[in-house]
Structure 1
Amino acid sequence: MSGIKSRMRLPEIKKMGRKAIFLWAVCMLMLLSGCWDLRYLDKLGVVLAMGVDDDPSGKQKLRLTVQVVLPQNVAAESKGGTGGTPVTTFTETGDTIFEAIRKMSAKTSRRLFFSHTQMLIIGEKMARKGGIIPLVDLIERNPDIRTDISVVVTRGVRAERLLQMTTQMESIPVNQFHEMIDVNQEAYAMNYAVLVKDLTKLTGKGKQQAVLPSFRIVGDKAAGKSVDNVKTIPAEAIPALSTMAVFRDGKLVDYLKPKESRGLAWLQNKVKSTVIKLACPESKGNLIVEVHEASIQYKIKQSKDGMPVVQAKLEVTGSIQEIMCPGIDVMDEQVLNEIEELTSQAVKKEAEETIRKMQKKWRVDALGWGKEVYLQQPEVWKRIEKDWETVFPEVQHEVVCKTKISGSGVRGESIVK
C-alpha cells in the first residue's frame, strides 16, 4: 500500500520541481534585466583627454585639465549647422589627479566619464619637477580607464593651453593629436606612440627609462584657443610634433634632435616607413630612398672581463623614389649596390648618434639594453644590476645595418642632366 502511495506522489513531486525551476528562472531574468552600473549618456561628460601641469600658485601639486566632448554641438555640426565648439575644457587643482577630478564636480552638470579617454598630456614643467610615473598610477589602477591611452609631453607650452586649441584638420582637437602621432610614425618615424601600459612595463626588470613623443604650438599661442583660429588660412596657431623626450626615473631630462629621435626609432624597432636623403654617389645633388620595412635584432655577448657587449643588427628594405643626380643609372647593379651601402651608412649614423647621446651625455638607458642583458644573459645581469647606471655608459656596442633596395620606379636613368 505504501508503494502505491509513493508512486502516486511521484508526478506531484515532478510538477513541484518544474515550478521551482520556473520560479528560479524568472528570478534570474529579473536580476539580469538591467546593468547594475548602468549610466545614461545624457548624464555623462565623456572625457577625451587629460592634461596635467604644475599648479602655478604652488598651493597644490598639480593642475588638471580635461577635454570633454559636447555631443549636442557635434550632432549640429554633422547636420551642417553651427552648434558651437565640439569640446570644452574644465580645469581644477589638487594634490592628486583623482582629487582634482572630484573637485571638478562643482563646475559641470555631468559626471565625468573616462572610458573613452584617448590621451594623457603632461606639461613640460610638470614632467621635469613631478615626474610621470605618479600620474599614470590612477589610470593603471582604475578599471574604468583603459591602459591603451597615448601619453605625450609638451614642449614650450602648458598642457592646458594645448587642450584649449581649436584645430582645422579635425573638429575634436585630441583626435588630431592622436592621428598626428600615427601618421608621423608611418611616414617619417621621428615620433612613435607610447601608451600607459608601455610605461608601467618599465617598472619591471631591466631598468629601462621612458621616452615620450612631444608636442608644441607653432604660431600665436594665444590665438590658438579662439574659434577664429580655424577660419583663417593657414591657422594662426597649429599643434605640431616635436621630437622624442627622454626621462630618467620618470622625470624629463631633455629632448632629442630630429635625426637622434629617428635614431631611437631605429633602435626601438618602431620605424614603419620613412625617407632617407642621400648625396649622389658620383655627382652633385640628392636622391631619396623610401624605407618600407625595418627591423632590429639584439644579441648580447660577454667581453673578456665578463661585461656585456651589445650587437645590434638592422635590416632595411626600401626603394628609390626621387633622383636628382645627373646621368645616374640605377639599373646598373654596381650603382644600386652603392646606394644600398650609402643607405646603410646613413641609418647606422643616426643610430650611433642616439647611442652616443644616451651613453655619454645623459647616461640614460632609454634604449632597453638592460632588459636585453636581463633576458639573454641573466647571470651577467644579476651581477651588474645594482650598478647598471654606472655600467651602461661604458657598455661596448656594435651596430650593423644591411639594406636591400627593391625598386626604383618606372625609370632607370635620371631625367636630370
Structure 2
Amino acid sequence: MKTSLRLISCILVILPLLTGCWDRQELNELGIMLGLGVDKDGDQIKVSAQVVVPSEISSKSGGGIGTPVTQYHATAASLLEAIQKLTETSPRRIFMSHIRILVFGEEFAREEGIYDVIEALMREPTARPDYYVMVARKTKAADVLNLLTPLENIPAEKLYNSLDVSAKTWSPTTTVTGDELMDTMISPGIQPVITGIEIIGNHKKSGEKSNIESIVVPAHLNTTGLAVFHKDKLIGWLTENESKGFNYVRGNVKTTVGHVDCPNTQGSVTMKTLRTSTDRKVKFIQGEPVVHLKVKNVSSIGSVECKFEIGSMSAIHELEKLSEERLVELMKNSVNSVRRKFHVDIFGFGQEIYRSNPKFFNKVKDNWDQQFEDLDVKYEANSQIRRVGTLDNSFQNELKE
C-alpha cells in the first residue's frame, strides 16, 4: 500500500512537468524566410520576404521546374505588422528563425532610419540576431531579393556567403550582424557603417529564371562601398579606397590583395596580404587625447608587372617601405575624407578614448562628433614581405624582341 502511495505521489509531482510539445510547429505549415527586405512605401513600411520553396530544393523531387524561392510583400505601419500581414498572400505562416540577410532600401535608410526595425527584430524571440545587414544602393531591397543568382540557387544564401567570403579576402567590405549593429547604434563614440549592395546589369531580367540560364548573366549583385550612418540614418557612401582605409583603421582586414607602384619605373608590384592587425592606443598630451594607430602587415609578392629586380634584400626593404606608405595613405585619407564630408566618428575613436579616460569622454560625449574633427591622429605601419612566390626576379627583361 505504501509503495502504491509513493508511486501515485511521484506521478502527481512529475505530471505537471510533462507538458509535451505544446508549442510544436510542423515544417509543412511554415514558410522559411531566409531574406528580409525593408523599403519605404509612403509613410509605411513595405516588407519583402524571400521564402524557400521546399519542392524546388528537395533532392528527391529533382527540382528545376520552378524557382527555388518565392517572394511575398506586405505594407503596414510597423515591421512586425507587415510580417504578420504576409499571411494574406502566403499559404504558410512566415518563420523568422533562419533569416540570413536583412536588406534596407536606400530611400528607407535615408529618410526613415533603421533603428525601429533592428529593435523590433532584436526583441522578437524567434529571430536570431546573427543575420548580415546590408543597404541596397540606388535601388529597393525588394529588387535585390528578387534577383536570381547562379552557383547559389537561393539569393539570400548567395548574399550571405558572398559577403562572408569577401570580408575575409577583400579589404573594402566588412560584415555587420544585427546584434553588432544594435550595439554600435546605442554605444557612444561611434557611428554605424554597413556594406552596400547594388544590382549591376539589366534590372528587368533580374527576377526571371532566364537570368541564370546563360554563362554571362544579364544582372548580378555586387557589394559596393560602405554606407555611413549618423545615429540610424544613412548620410552617404565611402569610396573603395576610403572603405579600405576604414577597415584598416578598425582592424577588420584579414587577407586581401593590393599593389604599389614600382620604384623608378612604370608598372606595379602586386602584394597578397597574409595577415594584418591594427593596434589602437590613446595617449593624453597636455590634457588632449591623441590616437595612435599602428598597422602590422605580413604579405607576399603576387606579381611583378615592371622591370624591377626583387632578388635582393634591399629591393624587398624598398617594397616594404612603399607598402607602409600606402597603408598610412589609405588610413589618413579615409579619416580626413569622413571628417570633411560626413563629420561623424565611424572609426570608434570615441570608444577608445572612453576606455582610456572615461571622465574626459563624459565631458565631451554630447558633442563628440565636433570634437572628432579636431582629434589628433598619428599613423604608423609596419610591413613585412615574407615570400616572393615561386620566382625571384621577373623574367620580363628576358622577353624576346
TM-score range, shorter chain: over 0.9
Opposite residue 46 of structure 2, the aligned amino acid is R
Q: Given the alignment, which residue of 284, 288, 300 partners 1:307?
A: 288
Q: Which residue of 2 aligns with 1:345?
A: 325
Shift of 1:79: 5.2
Q: Which runs of 4+ in 1 moved over 6 A?
A: none
- Tell me the SS of whatever aligns to 1:131: coil
Alpha-carbon offset, residue 21 of structure 1: 5.1
CA contact (8 A) 2:55 2:61 kept: no
Q: In 2, Cα distance between the equivalents of 1:378 and 1:25?
A: 54
Q: Distance in 1 between matches of 2:77 and 2:285?
A: 48
Unaligned runs of 5+ in 1: 1-11
| Separation (CA, whole Å) in 2 of partners of 1:49 and 1:177 | 9
Question: Does residue 368 in structure 1 map to residue 348 in structure 2?
Answer: yes
Could you state the TM-score of these two structures normalised by the residue count of structure 1? 0.92
Query: Take 1:136 and 1:19, find their aligned partners in 2: how far apart are those partners?
Result: 51
> Which amino acid in the other structure matches residue 103 of structure 2?
I
Figure out how many residues of one structure are paired with residues of the other and give that number.
Answer: 397
Which residue number corresponds to residue 58 of structure 2? 75
Query: What code does the residue aligned with 2:70 have?
Result: T
Task: Work out which of the residue numbers 206, 209, 228 in structure 1 matches 2:210.
Answer: 228
Partner residue of 2:94 out of 112, 133, 156:
112
Question: Are 1:185 and 2:186 counterparts?
Answer: no
Shift of 1:36: 2.1
The answer on whether the counterparts of 1:206 and 1:372 sit within 8 Å (CA) in structure 2 is no
Q: Which moved more, 1:314-323 or 1:182-191?
A: 182-191
Contact kept? 1:187, 1:272, Cα under 8 Å:
yes
Q: Note the C-alpha offset of 1:68.
A: 0.4
Q: Deviations over 1:158-210 (max 9, x none)?
A: 11111111111211011111111112112212111101111111244423110
Alpha-carbon offset, residue 41 of structure 1: 0.2
Q: 1:321 aligns with which of 302, 309, 318?
A: 302
Question: Contact 1:74–1:83 (CA<8 Å) still a contact in 2?
Answer: no
Asked if the contact 1:307–1:380 (Cα under 8 Å) also holds between the matched residues in 2, the reply is no
1:385 to 365, 372, 382: 365
What secondary structure does 1:140 align onto? Answer: helix
Alignment of 1:235-384 (within 5 A): 235-304=217-286, 306-328=287-309, 330-384=310-364
Note if contact 1:310-1:398 (Cα within 8 Å) is conserved in structure 2: yes
- Structure 1 residues 155, 327: closer, same or farther in 2, change over 3 A? closer
Question: CA RMSD for the aligned pairs?
Answer: 1.6
Uncovered stretches (5+) of structure 2, i.e. residues with no partner:
none
Contact 1:273 1:293 in 2 (8 A): yes
2:262–2:308 Cα contact (<8 Å) kept: no
Q: What code does the residue aligned with 2:200 have?
A: V
Deviates more, 1:280-289 or 1:208-217: 280-289
Q: Which has the larger radius of gyration?
A: 1
Kindly tell me: are residues 256 and 359 of structure 1, through their superposed partners in 2, closer, same or farther at Cα, counting changes over 3 Å? Answer: same
Specify the code of the residue in structure 2 equivalent to 1:319: S
Measured in 2, the distance between the counterparts of 1:363 and 1:265 equals 18
Find the aligned partners of 1:327 and 1:394 in 2 and give their Cα distance: 41
Report how far residue 94 of structure 1 moved.
Answer: 1.1
Partner of 2:123: 141
Deviation at 1:284, TM superposition (A): 2.0
How far is 1:314 from its partner?
A: 0.8
Superposition pairs of residues 63-212 of structure 1, within 5 angstroms: 63-75=46-58, 80-212=62-194
Question: Do structure 1's residue 20 and structure 2's residue 2 form an aligned pair?
Answer: no
When the two structures are superposed, what TM-score results if normalisation uses the length of structure 2?
0.95
Question: What's the counterpart of residue 393 of structure 2?
Answer: 413
* Identical-residue share of aligned pairs (%): 28
* Counterpart for residue 37 of structure 1: 23
1:47-62 aligned within 5 A: 47-55=33-41, 58=42, 60-62=43-45
Which whole-Å CA distance do the structure 1 matches of 2:174 and 2:184 have between them?
17
* Alignment-mate amino acid for residue 11 of structure 2: L
Residue 43 of structure 1 deviates from its aligned partner by 0.2
